[in-house]
């Protein structure tokens, strides 16, 4: 006869705790603790499998898997996920890898400015003669924002809906991780926003020096993007520094191409937002399984940069980048 009141064994108790604790561990911690016993090793492998299946941690509409085509032991890349710009550098651990994860709360984003006169439409798809009619001025796309009465179903909020296309992150021998289309993408479609920490120029320069030092030692790669918004006269009027190295989204995996790539960088401003968002749109039709890329900048600005493996016909051989 089985004793139903018998207390669970130590291993069972440990397993029950592990399934809740392990999703908060980084790869090094997870690997170390998995060596303790077979039971914990099995749980750790489950965590790794779930992480490899979705880089977005369920933030986006579709899972964005990691696919390693090399022989190295890198099933996924570890970072804190945010679906849009964030002003916080908070690295509070996010659970990632539980088989019963729930969609997390939206990540911290920029606080919009109060707008007195905005769109007051209430229809499902806006048709009024205000910013709800999609428009572009001096290369800057305008979308509805906090000053509008419409909801997220509005056709003029494309850049605020996160990643809605099917994408995947593939690892190759020379480039490392790269972002690829996992479905056909039409020219002009939004692929993703470049999400990460918004930095002051002083902080951006400080971090770049730190990243360069680590990179020279072969220990680190960064995802710090600098974009300048220009006036019609051509003079720079705003500098935007977005660091997706520690906190970012899948755009951090987009590699450079010397020929400009198949993505165009567009600044998208929403009514009421303090700063524009940096978004990538398809500059041409993109086939399924094709790598997504854009130009990091002028190679002439960084003659001592890393080797470039973009493979384009006009490859300079040196990784382009902007001086920070």
**pLDDT per residue over 82-94, tens digit each?**
998 888 767 778 8
pLDDT exceeds 60 at position 230: yes
Measure the CA dihedral 163/186/75/47, to 10°: 40
Tokens for 299, please give them: 């190679």
CA 169, 288, 253: angle at the middle one, nearest 5?
A: 25
**pLDDT per residue over 18-36, tens digit each?**
888 999 999 999 999 999 8
Q: Hey, which residues does 265 pair with through a beta bridge?
A: 280
The pLDDT assigned to 78 comes to 95
- Banded pLDDT at 315 (limits 50, 70, 90): confident
Rounded to whole angstroms, how far apart are CA atoms 113 and 277? 15
Residue-range domain boundaries for the chain: 10-53
- Banded pLDDT at 130 (limits 50, 70, 90): low
Residue 162: how many other CB atoms lie within 10 Å:
17
Residue 283: how many other CB atoms lie within 10 Å:
16
The pLDDT assigned to 200 comes to 92
Tokens for 10, please give them: 């130590």
pLDDT exceeds 70 at position 250: yes
**pLDDT per residue over 215-227, tens digit each?**
766 666 789 999 8
């Amino acid at each position: 006869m089985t004793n139903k009141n018998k207390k669970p064994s130590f291993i069972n108790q440990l397993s029950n705790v592990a399934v809740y604790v392990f999703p908060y561990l980084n790869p090094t911690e997870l690997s170390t603790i998995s060596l303790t016993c077979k039971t914990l090793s099995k749980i750790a492998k489950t965590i790794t499998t779930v992480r490899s299946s979705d880089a977005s941690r369920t933030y986006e509409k579709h899972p964005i898997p990691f696919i390693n085509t090399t022989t190295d032991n890198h099933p996924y890349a570890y970072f804190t996920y945010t679906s849009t710009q964030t002003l916080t550098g908070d690295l509070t651990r996010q659970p990632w890898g539980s088989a019963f994860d729930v969609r997390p709360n939206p990540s911290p984003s920029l606080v919009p400015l109060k707008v007195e006169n905005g769109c007051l439409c209430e229809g499902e798809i806006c048709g009024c003669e205000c910013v709800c009619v999609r428009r572009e001025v001096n290369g800057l796309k305008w979308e509805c924002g906090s000053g509008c009465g419409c909801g997220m179903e509005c056709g003029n909020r494309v850049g605020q809906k996160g990643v809605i296309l099917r994408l995947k992150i593939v690892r190759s021998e020379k480039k490392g991780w790269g972002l690829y289309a996992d479905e056909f993408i039409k020219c002009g479609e939004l692929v993703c926003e470049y999400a990460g920490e918004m930095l002051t120029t002083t902080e951006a320069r400080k971090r770049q020096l730190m990243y360069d030092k680590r990179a020279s030692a072969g220990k680190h790669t960064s995802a710090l993007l600098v974009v300048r918004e220009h006036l019609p006269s051509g003079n720079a009027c705003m500098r935007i520094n977005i660091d997706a190295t520690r906190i970012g989204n899948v755009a951090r995996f987009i590699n450079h191409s010397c020929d400009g790539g198949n993505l165009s960088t567009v600044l998208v401003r929403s009514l009421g937002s303090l700063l524009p968002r940096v978004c990538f749109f398809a500059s041409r039709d993109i086939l399924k399984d094709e790598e997504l890329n854009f130009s990091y900048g002028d190679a002439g600005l960084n003659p001592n940069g890393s080797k470039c493996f973009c493979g384009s016909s006009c490859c300079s051989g040196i990784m382009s980048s902007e001086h920070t």
